[in-house]
Amino acid sequence: MVAGASKLKILIVTADYYEDFGERLEKGARERFLEAGVEGERILLRRVPGCWELPLAVSRLIRRHAPDAVAALGVLIRGETDHYDHIARECCAGLMRVSLKQDVHVALGVLTCGNRAQAEERCGVRDPERNKGREAANAILRILHADSD
């Protein structure tokens, strides 16, 4: 439990293009916030189809819900085309722009992976502690002076 955590309002936005990985990241982040003492009903969960959709969705959801911080989660896996590079660049730059413009911390939990094995590794398939959703939550807890593990 963490002093002050119970009244935090947290938004978790997950790109579920890879549904299994998205679920793992979302779960890793949510569980970390619950462990810290954030009330379940103050953790809002939203999904978008892919990482490309994250910046605008996060921007609108910040305006609607005024969270203390946002965890933006998703998985990009390098494929045959150069889409990966375009999506990764715009997604990350877009999230930073939203964060600065709206003055809300947006933790970057967007994984850029060369293959599925890397995605499995970073989503905690083998070791639940190694989950980048959980790491994004830790970053937020530190930034908000709440805690980290």
Instruction: Please identify every residue annotated as catalytic.
Output: 83
- Structure tokens that stand for 107 in this block: 């933790």
8 A C-beta contact, residue 79 and residue 112: no
Contacts to ligand RBF from residues 86-145, by CB under 6 A: 87
One of 28, 55, 67, 74 touching ligand RBF (CB under 6 A) = 74
One of 76, 92, 123, 141 touching ligand RBF (CB under 6 A) = 76
DSSP secondary structure string, 98-148? Answer: HHHHHT-EEEEEEEEESSHHHHHHHBTSS-TTSBHHHHHHHHHHHHTTS--
Is 72 a binding residue for ligand RBF by CB under 6 A? The answer is no
Is 51 a binding residue for ligand RBF by CB under 6 A? The answer is yes
Least separation in angstroms between residue 52's CB and ligand RBF is 3
Beta pairing partners, 106: 70
- Contact residues toward ligand RBF (CB under 6 A) are 15, 17, 49-53, 74-77, 79, 81, 83, 87
